[in-house]
Amino acid sequence: MSSLQIAVEERNGVSTLLLRGELDIVTIGKLARSLSEVESKETRTIVFDLTELDFIDSSGLRIIVAADTEARRAGGRVVVVEGREAVRRVFRHTLLDKRLTLVEDADEI
């Protein structure tokens, strides 16, 4: 059983990846696969919903940052819904909270 569960939701041109569990070197592969599927559908907005994510490390960051860079280049955008403190912290320490689009909850999108 993977320690990361991903649920993909699509609505009105917005693809949401709901993450639950831990996003680290072991599980990023799974996220990468889901993400590439979503990206291939040419949605304009990709949402990483991290409200139920317990942990993210540098490898998880990498994926999100790379998705963001790619989206900007392609004219779309990436939104990250923040969740637990452990996860928020990481974005804060790297000042990515200033670079990525972070929201408190999904309604704000």
Partner 1 sequence: MSVGHGSDEVQREDLRRLAARAEEAEGERDTMKSRYEDARRETRAARRRLEAVTRASRDFTKSARATMGGQYELEGELREGLARERAGRGEAEESLRRMETLVDRLGVIIWEAEVSESGGVERFILVGKHCEEVLGYPRSRWFRSAGFWMEAVHPEDRDRVREAYGSAVREGVEKRVEFRVFAADGGTLWIEDLVQPVENGGGRVRGVMVEVTGRWEAGEALRESEERLRLTLDAARMGYWSLDLSTHEATRSTRHDRIFGHEEMLPHWSYERFLEYVHEEDRGFVAGEFERSQNTGEDWEFECRIIRADGEERWIWALGSVLLLDGGEPTRMFGLVGDITERKRAEERIHRSEERFRLLFEQANEAVFVHGLDGIITQANELARESLGYPGEELRGMNVSDIEMNVSTDGFEEIWREVLRTGDPVVVEGVNRRKDGSTFPVEVSIGRFEGEGEPSILALARDVAERKKAEEEREAALDRERRASEKIAFLGEASRGLASFLDLDGTLAKAARLAVPRVAEWCVVDVLEDGGNKHRLAISFQNGGETETRLEERPDDEAPEPVREVIRSGEPRLVERVDETHLEGIATDEEHLERLRGFGLDSYAIVPLQARGRTFGTITFARNDPSKRYDRESLSLLGDFTDRASLALDNSRLYERQRHTAKVLQRSLLPTDLPEVPGLDIAARLRPLGEGIEMGGDFYDLFEASEGRWSVVIGDVLGKGPEAAASTSLARYTLRSVARSEGVPSRALESLNAAMIEQRGEDDRFCTVLFGNIRQNDGGFTLDFASGGHPLPVVLRSDGSVEEVGRHGTLLGVYHDPEISDSNIKLAPGDAVVFYTDGVTEARKDGELFGEERVMESISSCAGSDARGVADHLEERLEEFSGGALGDDAAILVVKVDGESGVG
**Residue written as token pair 């972070």:** 102
Q: Binder to partner 1 among 96, 103, 106, 109 (CB under 8 A)?
A: 96
x/- mask, partner 1, residues 47-76, rule CB under 8 A, reads: -------xx-xxx-xx--xx--x-------
| CB-based contact 24:59 (threshold 8 Å) | yes
| CB-based contact 15:33 (threshold 8 Å) | no
Reported as type and span, the H/E element at residue 15 is: strand 14-23
11 touches partner 1 by CB under 8 A? no
Q: Binder to partner 1 among 41, 42, 86, 105 (CB under 8 A)?
A: 86
Among 4-12, 37-45, 74-82, 95-103, which window interacts with partner 1 (CB under 8 A)?
95-103
By the 10 Å C-beta count (0-12 exposed, 13-18 middle, 19+ buried), 25 is classed as exposed
| CB-based contact 21:53 (threshold 8 Å) | yes
Q: Binder to partner 1 among 88, 92, 101, 109 (CB under 8 A)?
A: 92
Binding site for partner 1 (CB under 8 A): 22, 24-25, 54-55, 57-59, 61-62, 65-66, 69, 86, 90, 92-96, 98-99
